[in-house]
Structure 1
């Protein structure tokens, strides 16, 4: 059983008042939402107007200042730029210009590049043997190449013109050079008939082969008398006989790598040779 007395039933009047109160509340909420929407729209309009105003003012300011720099100001700015460019590379050293043409290294042959004898050596093998004929007499010659001679010629041939200046007879020296210079680095051969006889000895006068440009040539020789006519152009090297551990040509190649930076090779010879004191006797 259900006791209906415990359930209160609203009468008709109270129900009508409740409906009327809810209607007023709904109207007030709608009015409040409308006011908020109007305020938001107004704020957005003000914000948009403010941004547009700032853009217009900024554009007018740029137009008013465009081209306002005076010619003197532009000239000053341009001059300042040039000064910066001028001093931008002040730390780079000034290098003297070298001759475009290759300078020439004259090399002695016997005891500088090879050692030759009419008897075969006992302590080591020969590199090649020749038979030369001089005044109808055939003579055997046993030739030993100085260690590193092929590499030496190839290295200096990259930066210099290489020539051989020997006091040997052409019948002998030409055959040696044919076998020695397999890569054809040597571009000139001068023999005994190109030497100058001084008191019964042979000197090599570089002025006859270098003309007036003595600063572009050096002569490597184991005999100081060979370059006695131009001692500033001479580079002395220890004579080679039978030392198969000899490294003088490699030291000389390093020396010529340094000489290549000099305008006058005589300056290089005087300033750099002390670094290679084992090359100089």
Structure 2
């Protein structure tokens, strides 16, 4: 097997399926209620934020990236071990720590466990992430990987949001999706800061899907 073919096969294994297709959010307006007093008993219940991994928190590549990489993991592929170079999105450490103060933080990735678990071990040194779901937990739709949020929160979908650069990944629950620009190697990227500020305001909503509607309307 040539090196080029080997690299291509490895990339298909460690990368989740991405599509540039724009998801049209439903026009139906739900009767969600905005909480006037953010200190109510319901509002103090800890909510859940589900995070994608690749191109949301980090960018990984089998070749040396154009910028300095933060760490490297080794992934076994057909009797050989290949290096994967990982670039952390700017502010990701602070982002995770801030989320952990108020939310249950879960990572749901379409990446394979062998790869993604190593990345998360290095990324989450303080143990903020309470649960990890990998490709084997995804639902395959037309050959693409979709994340079913009910596996995480059951029927209580109003208590959870997912941050993902790929809208198709949360197409089963589009009202729960917080879109984020895909990260590759822009070390001036400020997307996590913006998302952190948005998520910090979600506690004024009884149903966090209403917060997403307000975000997309602005």
1:95 and 2:33 aligned: no
CA distance in 1, matches of 2:154, 2:204: 22
* Distance change >3 Å, CA 94–CA 245, structure 1 → 2: closer
Correspondent of 1:108 among 13, 35, 52 = 52
| Bigger radius of gyration | 1
1:121 deviation in Å? 1.4
Deviation of 1:137 (Å):
2.7
Partner of 2:61: 117
**Whole-angstrom CA distance in 2 between matches of 1:125 and 1:260:** 37
1:192 to 135, 142, 148: 135
Structure 2 unmatched ranges of 5 or more: 1-34
Deviation of residue 253 (structure 1)? 0.4
Partner Cα distance (2:217, 2:194) in 1 = 12
For residues 27-46 of structure 1, the C-alpha deviation after alignment (integer angstroms, 9 at most, x for no partner) is xxxxxxxxxxxxxxxxxxxx
On the 8 A contact 2:43/2:203 being kept in 1, the answer is: no
What's the CA shift for 1:100? 4.2
Q: Which residue of 1 aligns with 2:88?
A: 145
The 5 A counterparts of 1:4-153 are 95=37, 97=40, 98-122=42-66, 124-153=67-96
What is the alpha-carbon distance in structure 2 between the residues aligned to residue 149 and residue 202 of structure 1?
24
Gaps of 5+ in 1: 1-92, 276-281
How far residue 269 of structure 1 moved from its aligned partner, in angstroms, is 1.1
Match status 1:228 vs 2:175: no
8 Å CA contact 1:159–1:260 kept in 2: the answer is: no
Give the corresponding residue for 1:89.
none
Provide closer, same or farther for how the CA distance between residues 119 and 99 of structure 1 changes in structure 2, counting only shifts above 3 A. same
CA RMSD of aligned residues (A): 1.6
Larger RCO (CA within 8 A; separation ≥ 6): 2
Deviation at 1:147, TM superposition (A): 0.3
1:261 CA drift (Å): 1.9
Residue 263 of structure 1: how far off its partner (Å)? 1.2
Asked whether the equivalents of residues 148 and 250 of structure 1 are also in contact (C-alpha less than 8 Å), the reply is: yes
**Contact 1:131 / 1:140 at 8 angstroms: preserved in 2?**
yes
Name the structure where helix makes up a greater proportion of residues. 1
Note the 1:160-199 alignment, pairs <5 A: 160-199=103-142
Runs (4+) of structure 1 exceeding 3 A deviation are 272-275
Considering fraction of residues, name the structure with more strand.
2
Q: Does 1:156 align with 2:95?
A: no
The change in CA–CA distance for 1:272 and 1:141 in structure 2 (over 3 A counts) is same
Instruction: Summarize the Cα distance change of 1:173–1:94 in structure 2 as closer, same or farther, 3 Å threshold.
Output: closer
Give the length in aligned residue pairs: 182
TM-score (norm 1): 0.62
Q: Per-residue deviation at 1:134?
A: 3.4
- 2 CA distance for matches of 1:113 and 1:235? 14
Distance 2:45 2:76 in 1: 39
Residues 109, 166 of structure 1: 8 Å contact kept:
yes
**8 Å contact 1:130–1:141 — kept in the other structure?**
yes
Displacement, 1:136? Answer: 2.7
